[in-house]
Structure 1
Amino acid sequence: MFVSYKWLEEYVDLSGITSEELAEKITRSGIEVEGVEILNDGMKGVVIGHVVEREQHPNADKLNKCQVDLGEGNVVQIICGAANVDKGQKVAVATVGAVLPGNFKIKKAKLRGEESNGMICSLTELGVESKLVAKEYSEGIFVFPSDTEVGTDALEQLGLDDHVLELGLTPNRSDCLSMLGVAYEVAAILGRDVIYPEISYETASEKASDYIQVNVEAKEDNPLYVAKVIKNVKIEPSPLWMQARLMAAGIRPHNNVVDITNYVLIEYGQPLHAFDYDRLGSKEILVRRAANGEKITTLDDKERTLTENHLVITNGKEPVALAGVMGGVNSEVQADTTTVLLESALFEGQRIRTASKDHGLRSEASARFEKGVDPNRVYAACERAAQLISLYAGGEVLEGSVEANTLNIEPAVVTTTVEKINRVLGMNISTEEIKDIFDRLQFETVLDNNTITVTVPTRRGDITIEEDLVEEVARLYGYDNIPTTLPVGAAIPGRLTDYQEKRRKVRRYLEGAGLYQAITYSLTSAEKAPKYALEQSDFTKLALPMSEERSVLRLSIIPHLLDTLTYNLARQNDQIAFYEIASVYLANGENKQPIEKERLAGALTGLWHSHQWQGEKKPMDFYVVKGILDGLFDVLGLTDKITYKQAKRDGMHPGRTAELYMEDVLVGFVGQIHPTVQKELDLTETYVFELALADLLTHHIEEVRFEVIPKYPSITRDIALVVNKDVVTGDIQAEIVNAGGKLLKEVSVFDVYEGDRLEGDKKSVAFSLRYFDPERTLTDEDVTKAHEKVLQQVSEKFGATLRS
């Protein structure tokens, strides 16, 4: 909802409050103000000019040489390229030295040999969005009414000397989808009164009932329909101030009658519609459900096929409007319209939403009907529009209204107690202060000791239960005034659990290692869901998905991280390392909540580091990612618990993928994305990992025990074993550790060789073995005995021989 500060001033006294201060107060009261736009921010030097003469530029076919009076006899020559500029017009002129949006400064210039002292401006050049400019001025300059005073501030005349507050309304606060609704809110915050527009006009001697009758078949969908007839209407542009307010509210001006219905829509929050009475084709309005297959061409010139779920306004035979959404082209108010049938009605929200969704039509009217309008404003809004049409379209309002009314609505009555309010809020607000808050909200209240009975106005349909009243007290008393207290008791809550502390360590480590945290959707498509899943499972499907791309819950985080890499690479961000800690969802049977498991996933591509000065570059590879994970396991105290095993997984490179096991339980995998997948996703060489984080963080870790640094020397022996190429080096290392006994303390691989000096199916793997005994100095005989046992074991298990 866009709220014009100057317009709001008509309904509530804002003296002493700037737009920024007002935005802060509204936000603190519970409705977020997403921003305050200063419409003339940075602009200056734009005045009203009068085009005294216009002639063709002597050296350019598409340029005009204009003599423009800027007031007080100051006539300047301006070269203008607008096709619609002409003699006698009042226009917006940016004078020499003026500043336009984007810090565009106007200077004297020569265009094709002719001097130009300023610029005649279109509305878009003054910062108005093109979609808000009236069609007749969408491709040219804006022309002011002929009675506009020359030399005055053009920005002021256009209402651009205004501030517009953008309210981020939640669905329950539909009452603030109108200027009067916002006025009630602001008045309650500031403790001031709401000023309603005064409605009065003269009526003609003829009666509206002689021109139209209203019948409603679908009474549940349309409990109230009010119609007024206005004759001798003259269609022309609406007043400039009204156009400015509509543009500030995000609505394009059309003509005076249509603009008035939109103006009252924003003012009262009650949608209206104006029919051309003479094009209606009958003296009857019939509201009914559409027949299946029935057609209507709406104001956007699109033919729409209706169903029995749609509500239509008809002339007794054919539809003339899709109720609450958009009018029909066959009854549109046009330039030759002289008699207007004005509609103000109350439609059932779900019925309007169905039509809006089915036809992809989202209008200002449908948005309000869907969320609920105040039934007590239906009549008032109709009278207000009749008054404005009488004033600004010269219309004669016929006496009375024609209506169909089966509405039976009573305001909600909600009871609470002072004790309940204070208990929930943890405060001690007095009865008088609570009553004052309800009085400021203009809620009728009755006090009976500590019991408060509130009669809620129909404009506040969001207040139905006791807790709603508590919220109203809290937000207007001020959330900042809720006292801060410290918890007491034997067990103080608030500390992190061990799991949370470890998870925080994981985040800090990964970010310290150079990875950025990503947050992706939990919802994915049925095609992506099974890819890279650590555990296979049936899908958990949404009953009402937004789209097929968001129809099931994910089984792996990696597919969305790959999408994130693709997005960044397409924007020349080619050195990327992301991680995400989030849940995957495993099916738990039909009609049951899925099992939620927390995972840690990462995706990395590009250069790991680059030192241009030294000419060093390190591209991402398997060992970089493995090193990151090894560092993580060290932080978590799991280094000795994790083993890597070569593996083949769908979508992963067959030779650069490993599964991670913790005490023979699969806890993750790491590796390169398969080259074909990389090509499909337009990725460079990419590495990923996914770990069962819950398993890692809940694993019991032995307390760290420190040992005395041994004072006895160790002995190192290196061996190079020749084995078949298909023998896994990690298996050899594990067997060496098992066979080495207590004296063998460390085993590491320092070389792998395949070449001319070995048979084609053989490889040489070199290990360094370190022996020591913390209690004594080892002899060669001690080490030889343990070493020979190692050699014997690897020979028997793998057929290994020492390389000569």
Structure 2
Amino acid sequence: MFVSYKWLAEYVDLSGITPEQLAEKITRSGIEVESVDVRNEGLKGVKVGYVVEKEQHPDADKLNKCQVDLGEGEVVQIICGAKNVDKGQKVAVATVGAVLPGNFKIKKAKLRGEVSNGMICSLQELGIESKLVAKEYSEGIFVFPNDVEVGVDALEQLGLDDAVLELGLTPNRSDALSMLGVAHEVAAILERDVKYPEISYESSNEKASDVIAVRIDAADDNPLYVAKVIKNVTIAPSPLWMQSRLMAAGIRPHNNVVDITNFVLLEYGQPLHAFDYDRFGSKEIVVRRAKAGEKIVTLDEQERTLAPDHLVITNGNEPVALAGVMGGANSEVQADTTTVLLESALFTAQTIRKASKDHGLRSEASARYEKGVDPNRVHAAAERAAQLISLYAGGDVLEGIAEVQTKTFEPVIVKTTVEKVNRVLGMDVSAEEMKSILDRLQFGVELDGTTLIVTVPTRRGDITIEEDLVEEIARLYGYDNIPTTLPVGQAFPGKLTSYQEKRRKVRRYLEGTGLYQAITYSLTSEEKAGKFAIEKTDVTKLSLPISEERSVLRLSLLPHLLEALKYNVARQIDQVALYEIGSVFLANGSNKQPLEKERLSVAITGLWHSHMWQAEKKPVDFYVIKGIAEGLFDLLGLSNQVEFKQATRDDMHPGRTAEIYLGDLFIGFVGQLHPSVQKELDLSETYVFELSLADILNVEVEETRFEVIPRYPSISRDIALVVNADVVAGEIQKVITQAGGKILKDVSVFDLYEGDRLEEGKKSVAFSLRYFDPERTLTDEDVSKAHDKVLKAVEEQFGAILRG
């Protein structure tokens, strides 16, 4: 919600408080102000000028030579390239010395030999977004109405001498989706009064109910519908002040009638719609569910196919609007419209949400209906719009309204006690102070002893239980006033569990290896949910997802981690190394909460080391990612229990992937992405691993034991074994370790050869073996006995022979 400071000042006294101070107070009371945009910050020297003469530039077809009066008794020459500039216009002129957005300074210049003393500006050049500029001025300069005085500050006339507060509203605070709602909030914070606009106009003798009737066939979806009729309307641009306020709120101006409906939407939070009465097609409004396959062309000129769960406004025969979302092109207010049929209605949130989602239409109206509007502002908003149309479109408002109301709307009564409030807050707020806070919010309050009986106005639909009242009292009393206390107990509080300590060690280790932590969404699409999952189950679907891309809970961290890699690489970052520790969600049967398990994922692409001075670049490879995993297992004391086994997995490289086992338990995998996946993501060679962190950290590990530095030397022997090409080196290493006995301490692979010196289907794997006894010096005979056992074991198991 964008809130104009100057507009807000019309409803509540803001004297003595700056926009920045107001933003701070609103944020401290519970609604975050995300930014304060001073619209004329850095701008100066822009005046309203009058184009006295315009003629073609003698040496340029697309330039005009304009003589402009700046209200100082002197006419200056300005060269302008806008197609719509003309004699007799009042325009925004950046004079010599003026500063425009981007610190663009205006200087006296010569354009094709002609002097130019300034610049005639478009709204875009004054810092207004193109999408907010009225279509007639979207490709040229802005022209002021004739009643604007020449020489005055153009920024002030355009409402740019203002500050706009952007409120980050949570879904429950729909009351603050209107200027009056924000005014109530600010008035409560500042302890001041709210001033509502005065509504008065002269109505004609003709009655609205004589020219239009309302029938509701879907009362559950539409409990209240109000229609007013305004005749003899003249369609024209809305007043400049109204256009400025709409643009400040992020809405593009159209014409006086449409702008008034949008203005009242922002003012009251009540969506309105204006139909052309003569194009409506009947004298009866019928609100009903759509028929299957029924079609409507909406205002965006898109034909849409409707379903029975969509609510439509019809003329009795065909739809003229998708209720609460968008009007139809067949009844649109146009330049020749003379009679306006004005709709103000209450639609249920679920119905509007369904239609908005199905058609991909998100409007200011649907956003408010989805979160809930105040039913007691439906009539007031219609009257306010009628007043403004009468005033600024010259319309004659027909007496009364045509309406149907099938439900009454009474304020909610909520009770709480002083003791309850203070107990929850840990404070000592008096009953009188609580009553004062609720009075400031304009809630009806009765104090019965220590019981607060609160009548909540219908504009605050988020207040339904006593905990809501506790929150209201707390935030306006001031969260800063809640006392700080230390916990009391016999033991020191805050000790980490063993699991938490290990998780911290894992984070420190991964960051020490050069990885950056990432935090990605837990929600994903059905297509991505099952990819790379260690445990595959059915996905857990959301009942009401925001979008298809965020419709199910993830089974793996890697898909979104790879999206983060793709995002960074696309921005020319040539080395990206990320890790994430987070939860995945495994289905646990229908109508049950999913099981939540913690995972660790790592994804690396690009360069691993880059030393420009030494002209050395090392790209990431399988041994880098495997080394990180091995270092992690070593840190946790699990090296002797972990085994890597060659494997084939979906979306992983078939020759560079291994599954990881903790004893017999499968805990994850490591390897390179499949080349087709890398190509799809526009990545170079990318290596990943995902581990079941919960399984790893819950393993009980023996305490570290320290040994005396050995006094006796070790003996190393190297062997090269010729085996069949399909024999896995890790299996050979395992057999060697078992056969070598107690004195064989280390076994490592240091060479692999496959070539023309070996017969086809064979390979040579070389191992280095280190023998050692901490109690004595080993003899050659001791080592030979153990070594012979090793050779015999590999020969029996794999048919291995020593390579000569």
The TM-score range, normalised by the shorter chain, is: over 0.9
Greater Cα shift, 463-472 or 306-315: 306-315
**Equivalent position SS for 2:131:** helix
Matches within 5 A, 1:494-533: 494-533=494-533
Judging changes above 3 Å, is the alpha-carbon distance between structure 1 residues 440 and 488 closer, same or farther for their aligned structure 2 residues? same
AA paired with 1:735?
V
C-alpha offsets along residues 13-51 of structure 1, whole Å, 9 cap, x if unaligned? 111211111111111111111211111121111100000
Which residue pairs with 1:697 in the alignment?
697
CA distance in 1, matches of 2:59, 2:786: 102
Judging changes above 3 Å, is the alpha-carbon distance between structure 1 residues 337 and 535 closer, same or farther for their aligned structure 2 residues? closer
Which residue pairs with 1:120 in the alignment?
120
AA paired with 2:582?
A
Deviation at 1:251, TM superposition (A): 1.5
State whether residues 280 and 315 of structure 2, in contact with CA within 8 Å, keep that contact through their aligned partners in structure 1: yes
CA distance in 1, matches of 2:287, 2:409: 21
**Equivalent position SS for 1:640:** helix
Is 2:186 the partner of 1:186?
A: yes
Which residue pairs with 1:4 in the alignment?
4
Matches within 5 A, 1:266-665: 266-542=266-542, 549-550=549-550, 552-665=552-665
**Equivalent position SS for 2:16:** coil
CA distance in 2, matches of 1:776, 1:232: 113
Is 2:97 the partner of 1:97?
A: yes
Deviation at 1:666, TM superposition (A): 2.7
C-alpha offsets along residues 595-622 of structure 1, whole Å, 9 cap, x if unaligned? 3332222222222101111122222122
AA paired with 1:105?
K
Is 2:678 the partner of 1:674?
A: no
Deviation at 1:162, TM superposition (A): 0.7
Deviation at 1:267, TM superposition (A): 0.9
AA paired with 2:619?
P
**Equivalent position SS for 2:263:** helix
Which residue pairs with 2:147 in the alignment?
147
**Equivalent position SS for 2:739:** helix
Deviation at 1:436, TM superposition (A): 1.0
Deviation at 1:180, TM superposition (A): 0.5
Which residue pairs with 1:237 in the alignment?
237
Which residue pairs with 1:78 in the alignment?
78
AA paired with 1:634?
D
Greater Cα shift, 410-419 or 337-346: 337-346
C-alpha offsets along residues 650-669 of structure 1, whole Å, 9 cap, x if unaligned? 43333333232222433222
CA distance in 1, matches of 2:42, 2:351: 46
CA distance in 1, matches of 2:403, 2:676: 69
Which residue pairs with 1:253 in the alignment?
253
Greater Cα shift, 741-750 or 612-621: 741-750
C-alpha offsets along residues 271-290 of structure 1, whole Å, 9 cap, x if unaligned? 22333344445444444444
Greater Cα shift, 118-127 or 775-784: 775-784
Matches within 5 A, 1:698-737: 698-737=698-737
Judging changes above 3 Å, is the alpha-carbon distance between structure 1 residues 227 and 598 closer, same or farther for their aligned structure 2 residues? closer
Deviation at 1:137, TM superposition (A): 1.4
Deviation at 1:434, TM superposition (A): 0.7
CA distance in 1, matches of 2:307, 2:748: 75
Deviation at 1:65, TM superposition (A): 0.8
C-alpha offsets along residues 291-346 of structure 1, whole Å, 9 cap, x if unaligned? 44544443333444444444444445544433333333343333333333333333
CA distance in 1, matches of 2:302, 2:66: 42
State whether residues 342 and 382 of structure 2, in contact with CA within 8 Å, keep that contact through their aligned partners in structure 1: yes
AA paired with 1:190?
L
CA distance in 2, matches of 1:331, 1:714: 94
Structure 1 regions of 5+ residues with no counterpart? none
State whether residues 349 and 370 of structure 2, in contact with CA within 8 Å, keep that contact through their aligned partners in structure 1: yes
AA paired with 1:127?
G
Is 2:65 the partner of 1:65?
A: yes
AA paired with 1:618?
K
Deviation at 1:699, TM superposition (A): 1.2
CA distance in 2, matches of 1:76, 1:577: 61
CA distance in 2, matches of 1:705, 1:310: 71
AA paired with 1:658?
A
AA paired with 1:187?
A
CA distance in 1, matches of 2:20, 2:505: 41
Deviation at 1:696, TM superposition (A): 1.4
% identical equivalent positions: 79
AA paired with 1:712?
Y
AA paired with 1:409?
F
CA distance in 2, matches of 1:627, 1:740: 26
Judging changes above 3 Å, is the alpha-carbon distance between structure 1 residues 291 and 715 closer, same or farther for their aligned structure 2 residues? closer
Deviation at 1:757, TM superposition (A): 5.1
Deviation at 1:735, TM superposition (A): 2.6
Greater Cα shift, 768-777 or 755-764: 755-764
Greater Cα shift, 98-107 or 660-669: 660-669
C-alpha offsets along residues 344-391 of structure 1, whole Å, 9 cap, x if unaligned? 333333333333334333222222222222122222222222222232
CA distance in 1, matches of 2:235, 2:384: 18
Which residue pairs with 1:768 in the alignment?
768
Deviation at 1:772, TM superposition (A): 3.3
Matches within 5 A, 1:171-250: 171-250=171-250
CA distance in 2, matches of 1:309, 1:761: 68
**Equivalent position SS for 1:458:** coil
Deviation at 1:12, TM superposition (A): 0.6
CA distance in 1, matches of 2:353, 2:650: 44
Deviation at 1:526, TM superposition (A): 4.7
Deviation at 1:77, TM superposition (A): 0.7
Deviation at 1:91, TM superposition (A): 0.3
Which residue pairs with 2:29 in the alignment?
29
Judging changes above 3 Å, is the alpha-carbon distance between structure 1 residues 191 and 545 closer, same or farther for their aligned structure 2 residues? closer
Greater Cα shift, 207-216 or 453-462: 207-216
C-alpha offsets along residues 566-592 of structure 1, whole Å, 9 cap, x if unaligned? 343333323222222223344434444
CA distance in 2, matches of 1:174, 1:765: 71
**Equivalent position SS for 1:606:** strand
AA paired with 1:47?
K
CA distance in 2, matches of 1:756, 1:233: 95
Deviation at 1:160, TM superposition (A): 0.5
Which residue pairs with 1:53 in the alignment?
53
**Equivalent position SS for 1:598:** strand
Judging changes above 3 Å, is the alpha-carbon distance between structure 1 residues 57 and 637 closer, same or farther for their aligned structure 2 residues? same
Deviation at 1:759, TM superposition (A): 4.2
Matches within 5 A, 1:9-24: 9-24=9-24
Judging changes above 3 Å, is the alpha-carbon distance between structure 1 residues 211 and 59 closer, same or farther for their aligned structure 2 residues? same
Judging changes above 3 Å, is the alpha-carbon distance between structure 1 residues 313 and 719 closer, same or farther for their aligned structure 2 residues? closer
State whether residues 376 and 409 of structure 2, in contact with CA within 8 Å, keep that contact through their aligned partners in structure 1: no
AA paired with 1:599?
R
Judging changes above 3 Å, is the alpha-carbon distance between structure 1 residues 394 and 539 closer, same or farther for their aligned structure 2 residues? closer
CA distance in 2, matches of 1:526, 1:96: 59
**Equivalent position SS for 1:624:** helix
Deviation at 1:623, TM superposition (A): 1.5
AA paired with 1:690?
E
CA distance in 2, matches of 1:747, 1:315: 86
Judging changes above 3 Å, is the alpha-carbon distance between structure 1 residues 199 and 665 closer, same or farther for their aligned structure 2 residues? closer
Deviation at 1:87, TM superposition (A): 0.8
Matches within 5 A, 1:681-692: 681-692=681-692
Which residue pairs with 1:166 in the alignment?
166
AA paired with 2:684?
T
Q: Aligned pairs, how many?
A: 804
C-alpha offsets along residues 673-724 of structure 1, whole Å, 9 cap, x if unaligned? 3334434443322222222222211111111121222323333344444444
AA paired with 2:730?
G
Greater Cα shift, 75-84 or 487-496: 487-496
